[in-house]
Amino acid sequence: MIKIYAYGEVPACEIFARDNISSNVEGVVTEIIQNVVKNGDAALLEYAKKFDRAELSSLEVTPEEIDEAFASVEPRFLEILREAAANIRAFHEKQVRQSFVINEQDGVVTGQKITPIERVGLYVPGGTAAYPSTVLMDSIPAKIAGCSTIVAVTPPNSEGKVNPVILAAAKIAGVDRIYKVGGAQAVAALAYGTETIPAVDKIVGPGNAYVAEAKKQVFGKVSIDMIAGPSEILVVADRTANPKFVAADLLSQAEHDRMASAVLVTDTKEMAEAVSAELERQIPLLSRSEIARVSIDNNGKIIVAENNLSLAIEIANEIAPEHLELCVDQPFDYLQKIRHAGSIFMGKYCPEALGDYFAGPNHTLPTGGTAKFSSPLSVDDFVKKSQFTYYTKDALRAVADKVAFFAQKEGLDAHAKSATVRFEE
C-alpha cells in the first residue's frame, strides 16, 4: 500500500529515492564495451544469443522485414502513429533555431552558425514492453534538425524479429537503418562502430541500468542526450480532483517498471486516503499489476500539505519531477510558479499519457531531480552551434591596444603580440 506522509515527514531529496543499482553493473558494462570494440559484429551476435536467445544470421533489419512488419500492423494504429507523428513534428518545428549575423559596427561581423549533427543513433528499448513512441519522439526532432543519418538499435525477440510496431514507427518517422541489437552492446556499437553498424556522433534514447551505464561510459567518444533514471510522476491534486483519475495517472508510470516512482502531493488528507483506496482497487485490474504493485509499495508516496496548495507547488519545485500533473482548478494560475519540471500537464483532463504518445511535446525527459538544470529532448539536441568573427584592418586597429592590454593582465604576452604585431612597422 502507498505510504502517506504529512509535509516535512520525508525530505524532498528522498521522494524519488530508490534501491541502489547492483554494484557490478559498471564492471559488466565495461567488459561488454571492450568486447564490442575488439570483436565487432561477432561480439554482437554472441550477445544476441546470450541475452536475447536469438540466432541471428545478420544484424540489419532488411527492407523486406520492414515492409512485412508494416503490413502486419492494424490500419487504425498506423493512422494513430501518423497523427501522433504530425503532432510531434508540428511542436518541434517551433524549436528550430536560425543562424544569425551581427553587423552593427563598421568593419566588424560576428555571428552564430547552426549545423546539424551528422550521424545520430537511437536506442529503442525492447524488454518488457515495446515503445514505438520512443522512435517517434527521438527521431522526428533529429529529422527536423537536418541530421543526415539516423540509425536505430533495438533488441530482437528469440526468433530474431523486431516488434512490428517499432518498425512501423521507424518507417513513418524516417529512420534510415535499423539493427537487431540491444543492451550495453548496442550503445558500444553505436559509439565505436562495427563491420555492420556505423559509428554515430550522438546517442539518444532510454534504456535499463546497463544501457544508462553504457551511455555514461561512452560519453566523450560520442555525445548523449542524458542519463535517464526510472520513470517518475508527481501529481499535485486539490480537493476538487477526482481520486479515480489521480490514481489512474499515478499507475500510468508505476506500471513501467518496479523502480518507477509515483507521488501525489495534495492539500487534504481526505484526498490522500481516497487516492490510496483507488490505487488498491485499480492495481489488481492491470495486466502489469505485479510491476505496479512493487512500484507503488516501494516507491509510491502521498504527501499532505494540509489546506495549502501553494505549499504543494513548492514541494513539487523542490522535487523537480520528470512528469508533473496539475490536477487543480485553474491550472494556468500556477504555471508560472512551476520552476522545475520536465513536462507539465495542465488540468484534470490532461493525463501524462497524452505526452507519452500523442500531444506533441517530447517524452524524453530529465529524471531524478535533474529538471532543476536540464530540459526535455528537443531539436537543440541535434544541432551544433559555431561562432564566427570577422574584423577589417581598420576595425582591428581601433581595438588592438585594448585586446593587448587585456591579454597582458592575464600574463599572456603572445596573445597581446598577436593583436599588435599587425601594426608594427
Active site residue 363: no
User: Which listed residue (232, 255, 322, 352) is catalytic?
Assistant: 322
Collapsed DSSP state (helix, strand, coil) of residue 238? coil
How many C-beta neighbours within 10 Å does residue 80 have?
Answer: 14
How far from chain centre, in Å, is Cα 265?
Answer: 24
Please state whether beta strands 177-180 and 261-266 pair in parallel, antiparallel, or not at all (unpaired).
Answer: unpaired
- pTM higher than the cut 0.85: yes
From CA 113, how far away is CA 111, in angstroms rounded? 7
Radius of gyration of the chain (CA): 25
Q: How far is CA 237 from CA 49, 303, 304, 318, in A?
A: 48, 11, 10, 17
| pLDDT tens-digit profile, the chain (425 residues) | 998 998 878 776 667 755 444 568 999 999 999 999 999 999 999 999 999 999 999 999 999 999 999 999 999 999 999 999 999 999 999 999 999 999 999 999 999 999 999 999 999 998 656 899 999 999 999 999 999 999 999 999 999 999 999 999 999 999 999 999 999 999 999 999 999 999 999 999 998 889 999 999 999 999 999 988 889 999 999 999 999 999 999 999 999 889 999 999 999 999 999 999 999 999 999 999 999 999 999 999 999 998 899 999 999 999 999 999 999 999 999 999 999 999 999 999 999 999 999 999 999 999 999 999 999 999 999 999 999 999 999 999 999 999 999 999 999 999 999 999 999 97
Active site residue 340: no
Collapsed DSSP state (helix, strand, coil) of residue 222? strand
Collapsed DSSP state (helix, strand, coil) of residue 384? strand
User: Which listed residue (255, 256, 278, 323) is catalytic?
Assistant: 323
